[in-house]
Amino acid sequence: MDTPCLCAPVVNSWTIFGPMQCLSHRVLGLGLIALFFAACQPETAPTAKPEPALPALPPVPLFNGDSAYAYVAKQVSFGPRVPGTAEHRACGDWLVEKLQAFSDTVIEQHAKVTIYNGQQVPMRNIIASWHPEKKERILLFAHWDTRPMADQDPERKNEPIDGANDGGSGVGVLLEIARHLALQAPQVGVDIFLTDVEDMGEPHGAMGLGQESLKTWCLGTQYWVKNPHVPNYTARFGILLDMVGSKDAKFAREGYSMRYAAGVVNKVWKAAAAAGHGDRFLSETRNYVGVDDHVFVNEAGIPSIDIIAYDATTGGFPATWHTHADNMDNIDKESLQAVGATVAHVVWTERE
């Protein structure tokens, strides 16, 4: 008689198993125990593949308001930059020289355009580009010409104005941006467009809403829209700077900007807060611009906004607008700093 298997369990008076049965049941028992413990383990999610790391962004450069101020003063030193005058030509030559030193390419557009009174005047658009081979681009623009009359001034109405703020301030900020672009490129391509014959529109309230004379303004931009400096040119978005240097300037969300490019407005306003200047960029929307360069750029398919000062005391533009008080005495370095630092934050944090 075989010796009983001492390891075989006896359940409900079943027969004691032999040696081979003992081994097989031992294996089976161990397997069941393993399955039991496996079933008791918490379910684990499949390991997710890590997201590929995005390329590091270059640091945002430190915008220099003093430098921007000096660029504004240099423009004003030429005198009023009225198209067709020697002062306009001299300042244009200087702008081209500066941008050629800072950028990869500079393209000039020369043409004759017809202003509101039927007179033809020479136009000189200036476009500087950084990394023109890149498809993803940002367009920064401002007009560099000045008003040939002071139609909002009670005195000397027919004399041209200095245009320190209206004409000089936006260009001054963009030249300081250009200086930094020469030192450290962002991930995207950048174009700086200095548009001409913006400020020779019909006088006497032509900037009001619903005026038929609105298309007598921004003639350089209207020409560029029909004749882009690069065939089929496009950009991810555009930022216009106009009258950004007035004392303690505040910037409302401009009405056309919100209609055409609210997402770009939100991007820029967030950048202003990140740059420490959110107090100057107001949350409310104001419809105080009859027309400006960004309107035509938007109609060409590039979502664009206007950073333009809003003055609560006038309910619109700064009080110096189209007067002889638009001079260097009324240019604020801190306003230039706030706008320039904001634009720099937008440009250098944009991913390709």
Domain residue extents for the chain: 1-38, 65-348
The predicted pLDDT at position 44 comes to 58
d(CA 170, CA 153): 22
Q: What are phi and psi of 168, to 5 degrees?
A: -85, -35
The predicted pLDDT at position 26 comes to 47
Instruction: Name which CATH class applies to 65-348.
Output: alpha beta
Burial class (CB in 10 A: 0-12, 13-18, 19+), 185: middle
Burial class (CB in 10 A: 0-12, 13-18, 19+), 1: exposed
Extended strands (E) in 184-246: 189-195, 237-242
Contact 108, 139 (CB under 8 A): no
The predicted pLDDT at position 54 comes to 83
Dihedral sign for Cα 127, 128, 133, 135, please.
negative
How many CB atoms are closer than 10 A to CB 210? 6
Contact 106, 96 (CB under 8 A): yes
3-state secondary structure (DSSP) of residue 172: helix
Percent of the chain predicted with pLDDT > 90: 81
Mark the ranges of the chain whose per-residue pLDDT is less than 70.
Answer: 1-48, 204-212
The predicted pLDDT at position 52 comes to 75
The predicted pLDDT at position 47 comes to 67
CA–CA distances in Å: residue 322 to residues 123, 164, 166, 225 = 21, 11, 8, 26
Pairing of strands 137-143, 189-195: parallel
The predicted pLDDT at position 267 comes to 98
The predicted pLDDT at position 9 comes to 41
d(CA 7, CA 26): 8
